[in-house]
């Protein structure tokens, strides 16, 4: 009970100046996170520099919950690279390996076919109806780096939103009641 009483007291004893400085420092945290994300987007050239693996189709290389770092350069796409692509009509991007490449002589456009290492067949079944090849504009980036397990945090938060709210609430309360 004493803890709650103290908390209520500390909320009561807040002064305007204190509240303002806390709001500013909270804003600093949020904006610096945003700056880092946007800087990563610039540095990697990919619209989402970090992705979380959601399916087991690349096992045992990438498991569910692993994090991939993407890079999108001007360099042409080649067989064997692991690319992240969006298919028309699907919201969630897919991380699979390129197994076939055909690059045009005149325009330099590429047509690629992908497959998950752990899948039996290629990805034509996942593509839009009648689509045989992926083009450059479908591809968001290629995977260059790998970090295991860290993505579980986001998977848990999206699948169990209650945990997210509890976490945000606890952090908020900590910020309000901290006396530094």
Partner 1 sequence: MHSFGYRANALLTFAVTILALMCAMASVSDNFNSPSPTSKVQVLNINWFQKQPNGNDEVSMTLNISADLQSLFTWNTKQVFVFLAAEYETPKNALNQISLWDGIIPSKEHAKFWIHTSNKYRFIDQGSNLRGKEFNLTLHWHVMPKTGKMFADKIVMSGYRLPQEYR
Residues near 114 by Cβ (< 8 Å), separated by ≥ 6?
83, 85, 94, 96, 97, 98, 99, 122, 123, 134
* C-beta closer to partner 1: residue 36 or 147: 147
Q: Which of 9, 32, 46, 57 is flagged as catalytic?
A: 57
**Whose Cβ is closer to partner 1: residue 146's or residue 165's?**
146
Instruction: Mark the segment that binds partner 1 (CB under 8 A) among 3-11, 15-23, 29-37, 76-84.
Output: 76-84
Integer CA distances (angstroms), 82 to 78, 95, 141, 142, in order:
9, 7, 9, 6
* By CB under 8 A, residue 156 contacts partner 1: no
Site membership for partner 1, residue 101 (CB under 8 A): yes
Q: Which of 49, 132, 117, 114 is nearest to 77 (CA)?
A: 114
Q: Binding residues for partner 1, per CB under 8 A?
A: 60-62, 76, 78-82, 97, 99-105, 108, 111, 117, 122, 143-148, 174
* Active-site annotation, residues: 57, 96, 123
């Amino acid at each position: 009970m004493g803890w709650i009483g103290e908390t209520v007291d500390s909320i009561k004893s807040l002064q305007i100046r204190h509240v303002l400085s806390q709001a500013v420092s909270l804003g600093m945290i949020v904006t610096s996170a945003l700056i880092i994300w946007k800087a990563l987007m610039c540095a990697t050239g990919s619209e989402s520099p970090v992705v979380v693996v959601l399916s087991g189709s690349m096992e045992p290389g990438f498991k569910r919950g692993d994090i991939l770092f993407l890079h999108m350069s001007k360099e042409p796409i080649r067989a064997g690279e692991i690319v992240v692509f969006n298919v028309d009509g699907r919201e969630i991007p897919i991380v699979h390996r390129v197994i076939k490449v055909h690059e045009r002589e005149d325009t330099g456009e590429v047509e690629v076919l992908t497959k998950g290492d752990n899948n039996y067949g290629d990805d034509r079944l996942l593509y839009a109806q009648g689509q045989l090849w992926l083009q450059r504009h479908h591809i968001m980036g290629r995977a260059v780096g790998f970090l295991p397990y860290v993505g579980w945090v986001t998977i848990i938060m999206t699948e169990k939103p209650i945990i997210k709210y509890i976490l945000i609430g606890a952090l908020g309360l900590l910020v309000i009641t901290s006396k530094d």
